[in-house]
Structures are given as C-alpha cells and as structure tokens.
Amino acid sequence: MNSPLAYVFWHWPLPESEQDAYESSLMRFHRALAQRKPEGFRRSVVFRLRGVPWAETDGPVYEDWYLVEDFAALGLLNEGAVTGVSQDPHDRVAVQAEGGAGGLYRLRAGEPTVSQARHALWFSKPHGLSYNDLDDSLSASVEGAGAGLWQRQMVFGPAPEFCLLTPDVIALPDALDPLVLDVERV
C-alpha cells in the first residue's frame, strides 16, 4: 500500500466567534464527513494549538488533518467536503473562520497515528543535507516511537517541509532547529 497523504488545513476563527461555538461547528463538519466518507478518505483529526507563525492570529489555531489514500482520493475529499450531508456543516464553520492556509503531506517514515500526537515538530531540511542522510539521522527517533514523519508534497502555504507528529517530544539533530508546537486534540 502507498503511504497515505494528509491534507493539512490551518484555520482560525473570527475575533467575535465564540471558541465553543466554533469548535462545535467544526466537529459537526468532521462527523458529517466521516458519515459520508468519500472514497479513499481514511479519517480526519482536529488539533487546537497556539503559536503557529504562519497563522495570522494570536488566538487559537485549528489544524485539521485529513488522511487519504492517494491523489485521486484528495479530489473526492475536496468535492465531498462541500456537498451532500457535509455542505451545511462546512458552510457553518466556514463563515466563522477569519483565515486559513493548507498543505499536502505524505507519510515518509513511521506510522500514520495522527490521532495520538501531542506534539508537532515542524522543520525544513538543511541546505546541503541529502534526503538519505536526513532519513538516517531521524530513523532511530521515529521508528518505534509512535511517531509519523510527514513530508510536504506541494507548496500550498507557508509551513515548513517536514512535520514530525509524535506523542512525546523527540530530540532532533540541532541542525534541524524544529519549531515545536503542542497540539491538543479537539
């Protein structure tokens, strides 16, 4: 089986939106999407976090991870998210959002255990370091740690090339200089 893809979408509510109302609308949308489940869609997970430098807010940011089988499933997810039983819940949360950014990532190493993550380590590959050397330097940290190393596939937004989702903070080589964000599952 191919490594799964993850469409990652960061969004934040309008300043006048109540956090509980925003989160309730968001979760109704994710439940509707899981109910309809477009072909190739595995699951979605929503995190709440702060300190995301590419988000235009000082308040909470929501990071949705939509796991799909392949690029074809991504198109079906795109359509399924805004039609049928998902349309109204999508529209209700969308009108409460002030902004958003997205990225497409593929699992490079480890496990796609997104729902178990408590930390996201975002980093870019240092110039001059090969991908093979990067893999070698991270393999011992990733394997067996319940972690998943995700690599950007297309540039849709300003996030770094790699995200290591992990239940525990993992020490990475100094050269990677990761941005460590705590994530809380909604």
According to the model, what pLDDT value does residue 1 have?
54
According to the model, what pLDDT value does residue 158 have?
85
Q: Is the pLDDT of residue 157 over 80?
A: no
Q: What percent of the chain has pLDDT over 90?
A: 88
Q: Is the pLDDT of residue 184 over 70?
A: yes
Q: Is the pLDDT of residue 44 over 60?
A: yes
Residue found by looking up tokens 């991504």 in the block? 74
How many other CB atoms sit within 10 Å of the CB of residue 82? 11
User: Which CA distances in Å does 20 have to 16, 17, 56, 99, 186?
Assistant: 12, 9, 20, 18, 11
Q: Which helix (H) or strand (E) holds 8?
A: strand 5-13
Give the CATH number of the domain where residue 113 resides. 3.30.70.100
**Each residue of 116-156: pLDDT tens digit?**
999 999 999 999 999 999 999 999 889 888 899 999 998 77
What is the C-alpha to C-alpha distance for residues 75 and 38, in angstroms, rounded to an integer? 10
**Each residue of 84-95: pLDDT tens digit?**
999 999 999 999
Residue 97 belongs to domain spanning: 5-185
What is the C-alpha to C-alpha distance for residues 89 and 8, in angstroms, rounded to an integer? 19
CA 184, 106, 89, 159 dihedral sign is positive
According to the model, what pLDDT value does residue 2 have?
77
Mean pLDDT for the stretch of residues 58-64: 96
Domain count, the chain: 1
